[in-house]
Amino acid sequence: MGYVTSTWVEPSNTATALLLLGRGSDPATERGVECPGDLPAPSDPDLVARAAAAKAKLGSKVFVLGHHYQRDEVIQFADVTGDSFKLAREAAARPEAEYIVFCGVHFMAESADILTSDAQKVVLPDLAAGCSMADMAVLSQVETAWDVLTELGIAEQTVPVTYMNSSADIKGFVGRNGGVVCTSSNAKRALDWAFQQGSKVLFLPDQHLGRNTAVLEMGFSLDDCVLYDPHKPNGGLTPEQLRNAKMILWRGHCSVHGRFTLDSVNDVRERVPGVNVLVHPECRHEVVTAADHVGSTEYIIKTIEAAPAGSAWAVGTELNLVRRLALAHPDKQIMFLDRAVCYCSTMNRIDLPHLVWALEELVAGRVVNQITVDPDTAHHARVALDQMLALPGADTAPPATR
In a domain, 35, yes or no: no
312 neighbors 332 (Cβ within 8 angstroms): yes
Residues 87 and 101 in one domain: yes
In a domain, 182, yes or no: yes
| Domain count along the chain | 3
Residue list, annotated binding site: 67, 84, 131, 163-165, 184, 254, 280-282, 297, 344
Domain-terminating residue out of 253, 280, 303 = 253
Q: Which DSSP helix (H) or strand (E) runs through 230?
A: none
How far apart CA 329 and CA 196 sit, in angstroms, is 43
Phi first, then psi: give them for residue 280, nearest 5 degrees.
Answer: -85, 145
One-letter amino acid of 25: S
How far apart CA 179 and CA 201 sit, in angstroms, is 9
> What is the per-residue pLDDT for 18?
39
Reported pTM:
0.84
Residues 286 and 364 in one domain: no
Residues 327 and 278 in one domain: yes
Residues 228 and 271 in one domain: no
> What is the per-residue pLDDT for 343?
67
Segments of the chain with pLDDT less than 70: 1-37, 341-343, 345-346, 348, 394-402
Q: Which domain holds residue 241?
A: 134-253
Q: What is the CATH number for 313?
A: 3.40.50.10800
> What is the per-residue pLDDT for 355?
95
Residues 353 and 328 in one domain: no
In a domain, 19, yes or no: no
> What is the per-residue pLDDT for 36?
55
> What is the per-residue pLDDT for 283?
95
Residues 312 and 354 in one domain: no
Residues 217 and 261 in one domain: no
Residue list, annotated binding site for [4Fe-4S] cluster: 131, 254, 344
Domain-terminating residue out of 203, 226, 253 = 253
> What is the per-residue pLDDT for 270?
96
Residues 112 and 176 in one domain: no
Residue list, annotated binding site for iminosuccinate: 67, 84, 163-165, 184, 280-282, 297
How far apart CA 140 and CA 3 sit, in angstroms, is 17
Length of the chain counted residue by residue: 402
102 neighbors 63 (Cβ within 8 angstroms): no
Residues 143 and 242 in one domain: yes
Three-class SS state of 284: coil
Residues 165 and 229 in one domain: yes
